[in-house]
Amino acid sequence: MSRHPDFVPHGVIPAVLLPFHNDLSIDESSFRAHLRDVGSVQGLSAITINAHSTEVASCTADEQRRVMEIAGEEVGGTLPVIHGVWADGSLEAARIARQAQSGGASALLVFPPAPFTLGQSAEMALAHFRAIADASDLPIIVFQYPLASGQGYPAATLERLFDEVPTIRAIKDWTPLVPQHESQIRKLQGRARPINVLTTNSAWLLSSLVLGCNGLLSGSGSVIADLQARLYRAVKANDLAEARRLNERIYPTARVFYADPFIDMHNRMKEALVLLGKLPRAVVRPPLVKLSDAEIAGIRDALIEAGLLSAARGRDAA
């Protein structure tokens, strides 16, 4: 895979799914087809792998490496590949960063270490990101969790990260509070060395983009990348009528994908791709479990409402 050396995280970035066989092994053939399908959408800036959407928490180091290899072979020549860094310890995070760079990734998406739920300091966050930056010169995207989770970084910590780790170029902002989200967009993108804000608030994507985000990074792009790309273009062009029209199509999918329990969002996206004929099965790894028939029927109805699935085909898939 060829690295895209001038890539700065921005624009529309789907986070792809990872299909499995019934025995829970990776279905490489279906994964390749999924990558080609998503990667063919016009207007994308990159794709993301080894993240929430690929069930990275249940993948071994060897499986993450294989996911990277396959992504490079299928889309790496045309799109930058962003590699997730999911690790509770900084040494493991640094190892993943080195592996991602040697494999041809163009940027890193760094998840917050789980121990931060028990408390964190700015020095801890700096130590973590410095270890990653010392291991790789790839652009870094900071995944900003909600502050209430304990894994989100306070504003003062973010400022120190941006000042002291120059390879940080963007945040994936999961801030659920609109005033805080807007404040971060204004402050970060207005810095002397701008930090792009990529929204991951897919349940209220239009509202978030209108505030001025320089991109979006979303697992729902695995299903609706084309609608997201068109919405992003409409907002950038200040075409509110078109943006609202597209949002009306996106809304039914957001309603079902991001229902409670929230952790099932990518489970639901797999079921959507099965209904659309793009995946052969919707297998997830434990502790996730198969969705109920009633919930799958609700996803089918949402796809019909969004104009992604014909009513007749929806009946045939029932």
Residue in the structure block whose two tokens are 């087809």: 33
Is 15 exposed, middle or buried, given 0-12, 13-18 or 19+ CB atoms closer than 10 A?
Answer: buried
Query: What domains lie within the chain, and their CATH numbers?
Result: 11-257 (3.20.20.70)
Q: Is 121 helix (H, G, I), strand (E, B) or coil?
A: coil
Residue 109 has what DSSP assignment? E
The neighbour count for residue 288, using CB atoms within 10 Å, is 16
Q: In the predicted model, is pLDDT for residue 1 greater than 60?
A: no
Query: pTM of the predicted model, to two decimals?
Result: 0.96
- Range with the poorest average pLDDT among 115-119, 174-178, 215-219, 311-315: 311-315
CA distances, 283 to each of 17, 19, 99, 127, 288 (Å): 11, 7, 27, 37, 9
Position 314 scores a pLDDT of 64
Q: Is 287 helix (H, G, I), strand (E, B) or coil?
A: coil
Q: In the predicted model, is pLDDT for residue 161 greater than 70?
A: yes
Render 193-233 in DSSP notation, one character per residue.
S--EEEE--GGGHHHHHHTT-SEEEETTHHHHHHHHHHHHH
55-102 pLDDT per residue, tens? 999 999 999 999 999 999 999 999 999 999 999 999 999 999 999 999
- The rounded radius of gyration (Å) of the Cα atoms in the chain is 19
Identity of residue 190: G
- When pLDDT is cut at 50, 70 and 90, the band that residue 4 belongs to is confident
Tell me what the mean pLDDT of segment 124-151 comes to. Answer: 97
